[in-house]
Amino acid sequence: MTDQSPDIPTGHGVIQAYLKTLDGSPGVYRMLNAASEVLYVGKARNLRARVSNYARPSGHSGRIARMIAETASMMFLTTRTETEALLLEQNLIKQLKPRYNVLLRDDKSFPNILIPTDHPFPMIKKHRGKRSESGHYFGPFASAGAVNRTLNQLQRVFLLRNCSDAMFSSRTRPCLQYQIKRCAAPCVGKVSEAEYGNLVADAKRFLEGKSTDVQANLAGEMARSSEAMEFERAAALRDRIKALTQVQSAQAINPRGVAEADIVALHLEGGQACVQVFFIRANQSWGNRDFYPRTPAGAEEPEILEAFLTQFYDDKEPPRLLLLSHAVDNADLVTDALSTRAGRKVEISVPQRGEKAELVENAARNARESLARKMSESATQNKLLAGLAEAFDLDNPPNRIEVYDNSHIQGTNAVGGMIVAGAEGFLKSQYRKFNIKSEAGANSDDFGMMKEVLTRRFERLLKEDPDRKSDAWPDLLLIDGGAGQVSAVESIMSDLGVDDIAMIGVAKGVDRDAGKEEFHRPGQRPFALRMNDPVLYFVQRLRDEAHRWAIGAHRAKRAKAVSATPLDDIPGVGAARKRALLAHFGSAKAVSRAAIPDLVVVDGISEPLAQKISDFFNAKS
């Protein structure tokens, strides 16, 4: 908490002074401390009435009383409606992350299944992010794993291709997917466009929840094929029906009375909260995710759920029905805001009986169990951090540990990796990778690569947060290496003017065996920990995670380099035009030999761009 300056007045008296400038308009207010840090963002149907509540000297909960005592100034934005105020409030909360607000910390996008409409033989694929591609979207799914499982099942049933358009156009014989009965092989004419269109239509009906109709149609086709003595076709249809039955039975929850809904259940215990979200689409469960919003002391279920819903659906389309474990504050307002965002009516319900209540109870049980596991893991993690501080003579258990590692092969595709850990375990959203830009990478200079990574990391930190007010500053640096690496890092940090962060080098022992690591600290003799010390295992996990992250980044960079073509260097030729050129000509080499009249035949290639492509390759020859 930032100390308040004795020269700047704070408290309800400061808030009282704002009342004469406010009217009864709806809007959003911000409460700031003496250092101009935003403490709280709130909305109001009537700004004057809401602020007058804070101006009272008593009658507040402990949390609100502390917030008022720290308030040195306020800011206001009026809106036309309270719904607009609610939407603006949640945008500001996500942007400013005030200490006294409920904050959804993990807000990643969710994957969907996409069947494009711009190809006569469309593929079926996973899609994440903005829905910019034309086609039919089905989702959201809780995770990439849930999408991959569903795609795998759909391929067995509907035989839709999953290869790229470029691969499709270049095939001369069926691939392995056809051999194992996962694709109808439209690339080589094993199925007509009309027949493939029927497969696509069946897949869409299944994803829309009309699986009974699909199964009935397949059964009818199988009977007709059998009567016509087309026994091979009848056997293939039988296998598809069997696969479809397995898909239906594999669904964990198949609510008969709920076609489309998100089930949102909250469990609050010991000041910590877990929210479980189950996605029901087409009468099928498409997975679930748990979230752990930051909850200030004293926040209760209605306030937490309201904040969660408005932040969670800030960049996602809400379903037609939300089934909640608890009623929310301002239910009508939240319903109106979500309906506005979706462009249609959204219903919020807290069911008390029947199938919907059972679904909510299942989600609530998962929330309760997930929070119990999380709290147990946090207790263990805190114990490890305390042990780490004791083992390495740190002043306090570290809140943020940053671990660095480099990866390359003989200087090629060099990448630096940084992972972050703290009281909540590995903070994967904070991981970073650094493409090595200096000559250190090409020269296989590990010291030079580490210098570049640390310089880029801490120069940015010093620029963005010179006063170290945020939690982005580490308390401890772990370096993969011995005395030489630690000495080099100490020199780098000293040059940057950051010489008060503890650092430890982790070096493998003489036999390079796990368990015999030596630890190096600036100006001190190396030492080792007991073989069975939990702190040793903890440090090994941190080092191994950094190694995994750096190697993964290196492999991704290497794979990208392998797939690179000269087309990447032509101005005006982006990913879509590159795909179109490769699909039409088959290779970059064929593009380089093409005449301008041949180039302009390709979709998206104008005559000036065709001239530019021709000039590019002619200049290189």
**DSSP labels for 134-166?**
SEEEE---SSHHHHHHHHHHHHHHH----S-HH
> Residue 372's pLDDT is what?
87
Please determine, for residue 389, whether its predicted confidence score (pLDDT) is greater than 60.
Answer: yes
* Pairing relationship of beta strands 400-409 and 412-422 according to DSSP bridges: antiparallel
Over residues 245-274, the pLDDT tens digits come to 655 544 445 577 888 899 999 999 888 899
Helix axes 144-158, 231-250, angle to 10 degrees: 160
Dihedral sign for Cα 387, 392, 394, 400, please: negative
**Per mean pLDDT, which of 295-304, 317-326, 448-457 is the most reliable?**
317-326
* Pairing relationship of beta strands 112-116 and 125-127 according to DSSP bridges: antiparallel
> Using DSSP, how many helices (H) and how many strands (E) does the chain show?
21, 18
> Residue 258's pLDDT is what?
85
| 3-class DSSP state of 112 | strand
pLDDT category of residue 501 using cuts at 50, 70 and 90: very high
pLDDT category of residue 215 using cuts at 50, 70 and 90: low
| 3-class DSSP state of 181 | coil
pTM greater than the 0.75 cutoff: no
How far apart, in whole angstroms, are the C-alpha atoms of residue 170 and residue 583? 7
| 3-class DSSP state of 581 | helix
In contact, 305 and 313? CB cutoff 8 Å: no
For the record, the structure tokens of 448 come out as: 């030079």
b (16+ CB within 10 A) / e for 359-395 = bbebbbebbbebbeebeeeeeebeebbebbbebbebe
Taking every pair of C-alpha atoms in the chain, what is the biggest distance, in angstroms? 95
How far apart, in whole angstroms, are the C-alpha atoms of residue 195 and residue 233? 13
Please determine, for residue 46, whether its predicted confidence score (pLDDT) is greater than 90.
Answer: yes
Over residues 150-206, the pLDDT tens digits come to 888 778 778 889 888 888 888 888 888 888 888 989 999 999 999 899 889 888 887
Q: Which domains does the chain have, with CATH numbers?
A: 12-96 (3.40.1440.10), 112-250 (no CATH), 260-372 (3.30.420.340), 400-560 (3.30.420.340), 566-620 (1.10.150.20)
C-beta neighbour count of 567 within 10 angstroms? 20
Can you give the C-alpha Rg of the chain in angstroms? 30
Rounded mean pLDDT of 536-561?
A: 85
Phi-psi region of 183 (alpha: psi -120 to 50; beta: other; left: phi over 0): beta
**DSSP labels for 424-487?**
TEE-GGG-EEEE--SHHHHTT-HHHHHHHHHHHHHHHHHHH-TT--STTS-SEEEEES-HHHHH
For the record, the structure tokens of 113 come out as: 């299944």
Please determine, for residue 321, whether its predicted confidence score (pLDDT) is greater than 90.
Answer: yes
Counting Cα atoms < 13 Å in the Cβ hemisphere of 236 gives 15
In contact, 113 and 125? CB cutoff 8 Å: yes
